[in-house]
């Protein structure tokens, strides 16, 4: 959101620097004085939480890379060396491992918030698309990182997932097999595979940081969306980011950090798999191969489709469809607050994602397989059928004329409820002065 800069250099050095590299002006304009809608709730704090997670992952990852050995004969032992012999190595490793789960949890909540409040609609399409690109990079980075401990689950997860490319043999004979062997660097998962995954796992977080910078840039052009989905119409409807939202984000980050620390110190392996504490053995296949929890919904979609090729298409399509959400939703109204017909479909979609996560951890048979197919059908139907159709047939409820009107209405309802007058949620009489 464009706004006039009010930065004034306070010293000769600041003036000299501002004329040549206005980095201080940029930081003040975009991260201190940036006008932010005054009605944002705590769902908007996950953006800052995600930046914290990314920084934590990069910092702990760099330290771990100093002690990790990317060799199939030594990788597992190097992890044990980090845990037992490196000063505070156990803390760094657990913070990195748990941090991946916290990163994805915050990212999924961030995206669900965007879907609920219509933050993907014009003029924020590029903002949304960059967010999906970040999700893709996170998935790739995490998958490669999951392979590095070189335990049983790591080894077989890499074997299964990379083998998916062999499905292209049904399109062009031999193509899929050649791709798999190129990824492996040989005829089976081995040392070249581990080296490649380690190199890319180290590189991709810095690519994520670059796309995050573009994401923030794309956010600051139109400004934040808000729970009403109504654009800011006057300066009184916005507040400077600091101190109002920096304090709010800081509080939310402190609460998030407490949950983060609880897992790190009391249940660091709760979100992992015990088989990964067994060294990789290509001659022994685990009874049930499962990825990390944040991949389970996509894994369930992969297994729900009988054809291997179409299963791969469905798994990647589940992410690809997110890129076109801004054009699939046909309603001019952003926020689901005022879309009574779409709201239950949205909550059913959220429940479907949770169910797919559960089914991804279950054997693909019987009721689990049938349920996964039904959930997969609704996942795609929500984007390809519900969003386009409901937007054309539903009648939105009456929206406030501005953010100020919404704030005043909410304030009157709260006061009436506190004073024992009009029940909360009912229309309130105009305030008398």
Over residues 119-165, the pLDDT tens digits come to 999 999 999 999 999 999 999 999 999 999 999 999 999 999 999 99
Band the pLDDT of 432: cuts 50, 70, 90. very low
| CA-wise closest residue to 187 among 162, 170, 168, 167 | 162
Structure tokens at 192: 């070249």
Sign of dihedral through CA atoms 64, 70, 74, 76?
positive
pLDDT 10s digits, 353-411: 999 999 999 999 999 999 999 999 999 999 999 999 999 999 999 999 999 998 888 88
Band the pLDDT of 3: cuts 50, 70, 90. confident
Rg (CA), the chain: 25
| Domains defined along the chain, listed by start | 24-291 (1.20.810.10), 297-334+340-395 (no CATH)
Structure tokens at 315: 């798994």
pLDDT at 238 over 60: yes
Element at 351 (helix H, strand E): helix 342-360
Helix then strand then coil, % of the chain, to nearest 5: 70, 0, 30
Element at 184 (helix H, strand E): helix 175-184
C-beta contacts of 153-158 below 8 A and 24+ residues apart: 153/273, 153/275, 153/276, 153/286, 153/289, 153/290, 154/276, 154/280, 155/189, 155/280, 155/281, 155/282, 156/280, 156/285, 156/286, 156/289, 157/289, 157/290, 157/291, 158/189, 158/193, 158/197
pLDDT 10s digits, 111-123: 999 999 999 999 9
pLDDT at 330 over 80: yes
| CA-wise closest residue to 334 among 413, 237, 410, 224 | 224
Report d(CA 122, CA 132) in Å as an integer: 16
pLDDT at 431 over 80: no
Q: Supply the pLDDT for residue 429.
A: 44
pLDDT at 63 over 50: yes
Q: Mean pLDDT check: name the lowest of 18-32, 278-292, 354-368, 408-422.
A: 408-422
């Amino acid at each position: 959101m464009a706004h006039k800069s009010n930065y004034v250099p306070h010293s000769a050095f600041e003036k000299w620097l501002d004329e040549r590299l206005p980095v201080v002006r940029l930081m003040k304009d975009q991260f201190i004085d940036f006008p932010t809608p005054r009605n944002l709730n705590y769902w908007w704090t996950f953006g800052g939480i995600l930046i914290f997670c990314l920084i934590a992952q990069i910092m702990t990852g760099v330290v771990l890379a100093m002690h990790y050995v990317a060799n199939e004969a030594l990788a597992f032992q190097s992890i044990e060396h980090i845990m037992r012999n490196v000063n505070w190595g156990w803390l760094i490793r657990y913070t990195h491992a748990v941090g991946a789960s916290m990163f994805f949890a915050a990212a999924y909540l961030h995206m669900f918030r965007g879907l609920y409040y219509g933050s993907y609609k014009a003029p924020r399409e590029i903002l949304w698309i960059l967010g999906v690109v970040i999700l893709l990079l996170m998935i790739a980075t995490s998958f490669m990182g999951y392979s590095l401990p070189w335990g049983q689950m790591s080894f077989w997860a890499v074997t299964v997932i990379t083998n998916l490319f062999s499905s292209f043999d049904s399109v062009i004979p031999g193509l899929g097999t050649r791709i798999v062997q190129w990824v492996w660097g040989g005829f089976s998962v081995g040392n070249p595979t581990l080296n490649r995954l380690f190199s890319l796992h180290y590189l991709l977080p810095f690519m994520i940081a670059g796309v995050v910078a573009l994401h923030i840039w794309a956010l600051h052009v139109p400004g934040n969306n808000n729970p009403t989905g109504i654009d800011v119409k006057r300066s009184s409807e916005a507040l400077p980011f600091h101190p109002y939202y920096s304090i709010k984000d800081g509080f939310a980050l402190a609460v998030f950090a407490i949950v983060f620390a609880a897992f790190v110190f009391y249940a660091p392996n709760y979100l992992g798999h015990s088989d990964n504490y067994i060294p990789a053995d290509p001659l022994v296949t685990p009874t049930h191969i499962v990825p990390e929890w944040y991949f389970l919904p996509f894994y369930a979609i992969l297994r729900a489709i009988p054809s291997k090729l179409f299963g791969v298409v469905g798994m990647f399509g589940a992410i690809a469809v997110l890129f076109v959400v801004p054009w699939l939703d046909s309603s001019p109204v952003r926020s689901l607050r005022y879309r009574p017909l779409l709201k239950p479909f949205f909550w059913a979609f959220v429940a479907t994602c949770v169910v797919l996560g559960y089914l991804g951890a279950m054997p693909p048979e019987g009721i689990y397989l049938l349920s996964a197919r039904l959930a997969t059908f609704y996942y795609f139907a929500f984007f390809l059928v519900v969003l386009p159709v409901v937007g054309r047939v539903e009648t939105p409820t009456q929206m406030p004329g501005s953010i100020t009107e919404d704030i005043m209405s909410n304030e009157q309802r709260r006061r009436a409820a506190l004073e024992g007058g009009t029940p909360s949620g009912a229309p309130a009489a105009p305030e008398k002065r």
